[in-house]
Chain A
């Protein structure tokens, strides 16, 4: 059982004129049918939950300039992750040599660390499970499904044949789990301290942020200055706003073909300098809450595997990265239905998104569509499982490994 998955978000400028070459390389990753395509063997070390490459705008350098964003969620330290990626990609330079200042494979790890952006808020659907653990839960689930692929009259026999453990054995296992849980909780408490300190360092801005967070938000179209022009391309929501040139359907091909149940969202908005500090407090506050011990997982929005908000470009812009289940509509709908005030707090400081960002659902959706960019490459280590499936498979796994007899088996087999 791990502590918590980690995340990185590396952003590096792409050399002028290299943007399309870079895109071509990214879109061919892992596609064996394309000659010369690169293969990233995340499965070898198997510590990566999610990874994506996104080509985003580089407004500072010019209208047509781009940057390469690489984001990943993984088990263990960033150093280990970067080394894994360097060693298990068939030609890592073919990706990164499009970027300015890239020193080559030997300097890859340092380059990635230098261009990494710290996370402001980190929501986790699986708070403690490693990739290998999740895969083992799902593998057991599939195995049990096969075992019960028999006529109904044989069900009790299959149940009777399941491995059992003595009461003493189970007691010792539970005791071990309890000790690990206590240790982890203490460690989390210690790890929460820097978050508390960071939050307190914002001083009186905490009070301003509290106003957003405690706003009893009601939906009201009259607050909206939403355009009723529903046609592409996107237009800026306000002076200084930056949008993608067209409204993105963010679904990847594998998602549309239902080979993968997860989807990805990359949203970049521009911060209003006047409210930047408040937005930073909101991120720090929600990050603290989400990472306290006993807050087992995000249960408000059950479709989020991992969601992260962070300030980039010295606070000029905010980046939102999400790995979620199902389609865009459901995800945004869930957010608005259940956490409108929270969303408002996150985006209230963005230029062009008025104070009442989520008071008007359609405006909010329009805003997300106009600020999001689809990933050119997207990876998940368990493409067939939703957050809820992982939780159920874990319950099944726990039950299987603490099975006393046929009666206890019937209880945990409810999760099959």
Chain B
């Protein structure tokens, strides 16, 4: 079945950022009674927002849903729902071991204050079974709808003997900035067969990635279907799940028995609660500019921050002639910026998506390689901004930037509740995090991790610096401190509607 015909079986969270809503809440749930949990699941499945096209009104306008619910499970949750060990064994190693597994944590940079022992949710200390993801609120100032929604769902959860062990809130700023002050979520891949037209109704021709990179059951960028969790046929007595079509796939223990496809139309979701240390970020930049220039001019501080990010605060990419771009994402590097003189190789955007310059491979192979390691990001910010972030965009009022000279931490938590959808956590999220973001030697660099996301300043690793190609000689900053800390995380399975029905039986 083509993916476009399966949209009503795919959870909408996989295919849509629900950009028309502004408020989110994430309910982390523990199951205490199997029968009650299954009963709750039976009730909740019809409420799950799918990827099916939204209906249209009489004027042909799409009727946007006002409240959306999606659901994902940890391995612990699937175990609690009494999936057999055979089924659990068919999940990828990273799901079975968990984000917090010690050697994995080191590769991901989840060390020191970001290690799982300090997490607020997830890991061995704060386990959970299910996360319910709620989105609501059609305007930035509407926080009532989401609160009501959370209350409603919480009642259902608790009345089924389950407990909400943690609750996170998220919201989308009207200006779509994250807390450092930069426009976020600009570069998102499009799913072949799902995303056909952009917001202006034009056909999408660029940045399209095979469905199998994000949805199980379809071919990925390698031309292969990603491996899926499977269920022996006798463990699906109600014949809910589709048959597993891969003829070669087998359980070693069940050589000759047919298998059911538990993964089809589902996906894997990575959750990370990222706390941003905004004051440290801007104060570091201020000190660096003072060191480099002899004086800390605010516009130079913003310049340096933009080099870290790879975009200006308003989202304009650091490319030659950005005014000629059709969109904030329609650019490559090979032709206009092969040496990183505009957008540094070490900048956040150039290492999250190196596009067509991935040393030493030629541009077409670079693009091909990069498209095998993409993420569908679904983050929402939490906490109040430390300062008026719009000041960063107001070029007519340079004096307002003086605020950057005197920023102090207010002790409040702020950051991003980051979710990423991918069909293969190892080849996508972990690959990007370890081999690109945290790799000090990424793309031919030397001692340069992602300046924003990197696990700098761990005390036992060599220093990490930001290299900025520059005339006559590159600029290298002093040792970077860590600006983003992890305070929660989990690898999740987001089943199809069919698989949810199977779980509910």
Contacts and interface: CB of A to CB of B under 8 A. Distances in A.
Interface of A: 141, 145, 148-149, 151-153, 155-156, 158-159, 218-231, 235, 247, 249, 251, 256-259, 261, 299, 302, 325-327, 329-330, 333, 337-338, 360-362, 384-386, 388-389, 392, 410, 413-414, 416
Contacts, number: 148
Interface stretch (B119-127, B243-251, B374-382, B397-405): B243-251
A410 B471 CA distance: 8
Interface stretch (B33-41, B198-206, B290-298): B290-298
B322 interface: no
A326 B227 CA distance: 25
A230 B248 contact: no
B2 interface: no
Contacts of B257: none
A217 B472 CA distance: 46
Interface of B: 86, 88-93, 96, 103, 106-107, 222-225, 227-230, 246-253, 259, 291-294, 339, 359-361, 365, 368-369, 372, 426-427, 430-431, 434-435, 439-441, 444, 446-447, 458, 460-462, 469, 471-476
A360 B248 CA distance: 11
A385 B440 CA distance: 10
Contacts of A153: 293-294
Contacts of B471: 410
Given A329-B435, A333-B427, A388-B441, A361 B222 contact: yes
A141 B248 CA distance: 52
A361 B224 contact: yes
Contacts of B291: 151
Contacts of B360: 299, 302, 388
A249 B101 CA distance: 12
Given A299-B360, A329-B431, A388-B359, A159 B472 contact: yes
Given A258-B461, A388-B441, A219 B249 contact: no
22 contacts: A148-B473, A151-B294, A153-B293, A155-B472, A155-B473, A159-B472, A225-B248, A226-B248, A226-B249, A227-B249, A228-B250, A229-B252, A230-B93, A230-B96, A259-B461, A299-B360, A326-B435, A360-B224, A361-B224, A388-B359, A389-B446, A410-B471
Contacts of A249: 103
Most chain B CB neighbours (cut-off 10 Å) among A230, A330, A388, A416: A230
Contacts of A223: 248
Contacts of A389: 441, 444, 446
Contacts of A218: 223
A275 B214 CA distance: 39
Contact of A261 (B106, B227, B372, B441): B441
B90 A229 contact: yes
Rank and list the top 4 A-B pairs by shortest CB-CB distance, nearest first.
A231-B89, A330-B435, A256-B106, A224-B248
B460 A145 contact: no
B461 A229 contact: no
Given A256-B106, A261-B441, A389-B441, A414 B339 contact: yes
B92 A222 contact: no
Most chain A CB neighbours (cut-off 10 Å) among B223, B225, B444, B472: B472
A221 B248 contact: yes
B101 to A, nearest CB: 9
Given A229-B251, A388-B441, A410 B472 contact: yes
Contacts of B469: 414
Contact of A258 (B90, B228, B229, B440): B440
B441 A325 contact: yes
A156 B292 CA distance: 13
Contacts of B368: 337
A259 B249 CA distance: 40
B372 A259 contact: no
Contact of A416 (B107, B444, B474): B474
A151 B461 contact: no
Contacts of A231: 88-89, 96
Contact of A257 (B106, B224, B250, B372): B106
Contacts of A155: 472-473
A330 B249 contact: no
Contact of B224 (A219, A251, A256): A219
A219 B222 contact: yes
B430 A329 contact: yes
Contacts of B248: 221-226, 360
A329 B292 contact: no
Nearest to A354: B248
A225 B250 contact: yes
B435 A152 contact: no
Given A230-B89, A230-B91, A152 B475 contact: yes
B107 A392 contact: no
Contacts of A225: 248, 250
Contact of B427 (A156, A159, A329, A385): A329
A410 B474 CA distance: 10
Nearest to B91: A230
A64 B248 CA distance: 33
B366 to A, nearest CB: 11
Contacts of A221: 224-225, 246, 248
Contact of A330 (B92, B294, B365, B431): B431
Nearest to B424: A362
A413 B462 CA distance: 23
A360 B222 CA distance: 9
A167 B311 CA distance: 43
Contacts of B89: 229-231
A152 B441 contact: no
Contact of A247 (B93, B222, B431, B472): B93
Most chain A CB neighbours (cut-off 10 Å) among B90, B259, B435: B435
